[in-house]
Structure 1
Amino acid sequence: MNNSQKTEEFYQRLKAQLEENFSWPSTYLYKFIVPSDQEKINTIKDIFADSGANLQTKESSKGTFTSVSVKVRMKSPDAVIEKYLEVSKVEGVISL
């Protein structure tokens, strides 16, 4: 199984869990770990810029990574996954 198939299966499971555990539209909390690079953090901020998101950042104790929490009202599981896919294009980002 290649990475593309694994990624597709992951998002299919996530969609099923989101459909089962949330009533849509719903508030969703994204959590990301990003290398402490302001350009990368700003890219994530830009992805959520027009969504009315509440975004918080916290730098690690050594300053090498920054956690980014984004609380935002989403319309559907597909909309949640769409944002994950956009953020996944930012190099070095880990989605939690």
Structure 2
Amino acid sequence: MGTPLNPDEFYEKLKAQLYDTAIWPSEYLYKFIIKTDNHKIAILEALFNNMGAVIHTTESKNGKYTSISVNILMRNPDAVIEKYKEVAEKVEGVISL
């Protein structure tokens, strides 16, 4: 088992993987999970507003959690990472997959 990466190391590794696996600009699929809260869901959706994103939300069977998938055209891996950071900063308790 390896040592968990700090956020900066994680994002650098993700950036390298994104450059290696796609031609940019490229469609990117974000996946998030949050406790079901209409206010938090609205904040997350607003972060992708006016960007041409296709957003799908699915509540868990018992309604406690909501998964949110965002399919969007991103210009480069830096833009992908910046959006992850923005979501983490503005949506409390979000889990990015």
Shorter-normalised TM range: over 0.9
The match for 1:58 is 58
The match for 2:34 is 34
**Distance in 2 between the 1:50 and 1:74 partners?**
13
Amino acid at match of 1:7: P
**Distance in 2 between the 1:82 and 1:50 partners?**
17
Amino acid at match of 2:56: Q
Q: Which secondary structure does the structure 2 equivalent of 1:70 belong to?
A: strand
Aligned length: 93
Following TM superposition, the consecutive aligned residue runs of length 4 or more in structure 1 with deviations greater than 3 angstroms are none
Give the RMSD, CA atoms, in angstroms: 1.2
The match for 1:93 is 94
- TM-score of the two chains, using structure 2 as the length reference: 0.93
**Distance in 2 between the 1:13 and 1:62 partners?**
35
Amino acid at match of 1:6: N
Amino acid at match of 2:93: G
- TM-score of the two chains, using structure 1 as the length reference: 0.94
Residue identity (%): 53
Structure in which a larger fraction of residues adopt helix: 1
The match for 2:68 is 68
The unaligned stretches of length 5 or more in structure 2 are none
Give CA-to-partner distance per residue, 1:68-88, whole Å, 9 cap, x none: 000000000000001100111
CA positional deviation for 1:50: 1.6
**Distance in 2 between the 1:56 and 1:43 partners?**
14
Amino acid at match of 2:73: R
Q: Which secondary structure does the structure 1 equivalent of 2:71 belong to?
A: strand
**Distance in 2 between the 1:84 and 1:40 partners?**
15
Amino acid at match of 1:58: T
